[in-house]
Amino acid sequence: MPADVMLLRSEFLGLNETVPIKDGRRVVYVNFDNAATTPPLKAVVAAVNAFLPWYSSVHRGFGYKSQLSTGVYNRARDYITRFFGADPGKDLVVFVKNATEALNKLSYRLKTRQNQVILASRMEHHSNDLPWRLKRKTLFAELPPDGRLDLADLENKLRNNRVALVTLCGASNVTGVINPLRTIAEMTHYYGAAFLVDAAQLVPHRPLRLRSGEAPDFIAFSGHKLYAPFGSGVLLGPAKVFAEGIPELTGGGTVAAVSKTRILFAPPPEREEAGTPNLIGAFALAKALQWLQEHDFPALATYEENLTKYAYNRLATVPGIRLYGPPPFITPRVGVIAFNLEGIPHSLVAAALAYEAGIGVRHGCFCARPYVHHLLRLSPAEIAAYEERIAAGKKQDLPGMVRVSFGFYNTREEVDRLIAALFFLRDEEVKIKKSYRLNPVTGEYLPPGGDYQVRLDRHRESFFL
């Protein structure tokens, strides 16, 4: 491993932990599930630990610690606003608990005129689909078979409808495809709509800027996918959107005055952040962004891009593999690759990677079912049939994929371990299929014998001693 990669790895917490595998041995864990959650940065943990002795109430008290805590909270907001090239005079960071809450918040708070619609796409995570489709008339831009966004269809829908907001992922959590945000922003603004980027998968991988950059009006993202695991997220967008109306959550912190007969809401951001805010989460998130800024973010992005291309090429050599989405050499992608191995259920592939090789991946539909249906080319009848099985409580043999997703600390050596494990699975396919047992309750496969579960339970309990 090159010295600079080793140096980079030393910035992250927990990369050398060993985990048990099926045969009783322990191996260093490989985390290829960064699209779900990333490990913490040591700099973030150290900053949080340094601040904790000073931790106190935000906006509530007037002692030194309380004033300091309020200052740190506001400074985090200011740092994040500037990091994304937003205008502190016009744009506002609203702290929430994750991207899902940010997207829900805007779906409640965005004012639209009669007959106006929301325009999303078929490649969205459920968090950027359900909040819209459950509250507002929502249209969806279609996709060609390879899973890119159909820009012509997007423009057609913009031209032929009164669209208030275009809301799209910056990068897909299934294929890693990066949408051409600058072009879409121009198109969206030309038709008079606002543009929201669900940046949950983009912010951790690529620099993104409002206003003079890619120019979305709103972005939403989570800290836990960005090496800052303290339960915070951000909705960033024009402050005027939050200046009026009743927020979806009300109570302490949201009001300037309350009497028996009158409620006067506070100006944003207070109006939007009901209850005691997550100061540590906000601080940690800002510190993670600061780390990116101080560690040549564009160079880190290039490193990940090369790792993704390397992994894609190596995966393509595995017999019977099907890789989804356009190749990263053709379409820009963040480090997310979804695949299937012909003849082996995705749940068994994920189980074999965990129990035979200590590699953590995710399998299933990744909270983006319409997109996965599209990529798997499922017919409406096939979708209806499997939804019936789910409704009946059956969890086995459901459609899905295996997903590997990278952080800046992952290495080619780890990719090589994945490839070796997949070749091993292919070679030992018959034996593994015979010996692994399907748990019908969870739909997951378990390895034969061994004390894996016992060790897992003991480890869990050790944190509660």
| Site map (CB under 6 A) of ligand PLP, residues 32-51, x = contact | ---x----------------
CB of 170 to ligand PLP, least distance (A): 8
Taking contact as CB under 6 A, which single stretch among the options 97-105, 135-143, 287-295, 455-463 is the one that binds ligand PLP? 97-105
The answer to whether 123 touches 174, Cβ cutoff 8 Å, is yes
Beta carbons within 8 Å of 102's beta carbon, 6+ residues apart: 94, 96, 220, 221, 233, 234, 235
For the chain, give percent helix, strand, coil, nearest 5: 40, 20, 40
Question: In 269-422, at which residue ranges do the beta strands (DSSP E only) sit?
Answer: 321-323, 336-341, 359-360, 362-364, 401-405
Q: Is 367 a catalytic residue?
A: yes
Helices (H) and strands (E) in the chain, counts: 15, 19
Helices 279-294 and 64-83, axial angle in degrees (round to 10)? 40
Taking contact as CB under 6 A, which single stretch among the options 44-52, 94-102, 186-194, 418-426 is the one that binds ligand PLP? 94-102
The answer to whether 278 touches 69, Cβ cutoff 8 Å, is no
Considering the rule CB under 6 A, would residue 222 count as an interface residue with ligand PLP? yes
Taking contact as CB under 6 A, which single stretch among the options 125-133, 314-322, 351-359, 447-455 is the one that binds ligand PLP? 125-133
| Closest CB to ligand PLP among residues 22, 363 | 363
Taking contact as CB under 6 A, which single stretch among the options 92-100, 147-155, 251-259, 437-445 is the one that binds ligand PLP? 92-100
Considering the rule CB under 6 A, would residue 129 count as an interface residue with ligand PLP? no
Considering the rule CB under 6 A, would residue 232 count as an interface residue with ligand PLP? no
Helices 181-190 and 151-160, axial angle in degrees (round to 10)? 20
Q: Which of 200, 279, 354, 359 binds ligand PLP (CB under 6 A)?
A: 200
DSSP calls for 278-318: -HHHHHHHHHHHHHHHHTTHHHHHHHHHHHHHHHHHHHTTS
> Which secondary-structure segment (H or E) carries 376?
helix 369-376
Considering the rule CB under 6 A, would residue 104 count as an interface residue with ligand PLP? no
Considering the rule CB under 6 A, would residue 158 count as an interface residue with ligand PLP? no
Displacement of CA 438 from its chain's centroid (Å): 29
Q: Which of 201, 278, 347, 410 binds ligand PLP (CB under 6 A)?
A: 201
* Pairing of the two strands 18-20 and 26-28: antiparallel
Q: Which of 94, 169, 215, 421 binds ligand PLP (CB under 6 A)?
A: 169
How many chain residues interact with ligand PLP (CB under 6 A)? 13
CB of 124 to ligand PLP, least distance (A): 7
CB of 173 to ligand PLP, least distance (A): 3
Helix, coil or strand: residue 118: strand
Catalytic residue, from 367, 372, 375, 401: name it: 367
Helix, coil or strand: residue 192: coil
Q: Which of 173, 188, 278, 340 binds ligand PLP (CB under 6 A)?
A: 173
Cis peptide before 269 (omega within 30 of 0): yes
CA atoms of 184 and 215, how far apart (whole Å):
9
Diameter of the chain measured on Cα atoms: 74
Q: Which of 91, 129, 198, 305 binds ligand PLP (CB under 6 A)?
A: 198
| Site map (CB under 6 A) of ligand PLP, residues 381-420, x = contact | ----------------------------------------
CB of 338 to ligand PLP, least distance (A): 12
Considering the rule CB under 6 A, would residue 125 count as an interface residue with ligand PLP? yes
CB of 419 to ligand PLP, least distance (A): 25
| Closest CB to ligand PLP among residues 129, 444 | 129
Give the interface with ligand PLP as residue ranges (CB under 6 A).
Answer: 35, 98-100, 125, 127-128, 169, 173, 198, 200-201, 222
Q: Name the residues annotated as catalytic.
A: 367
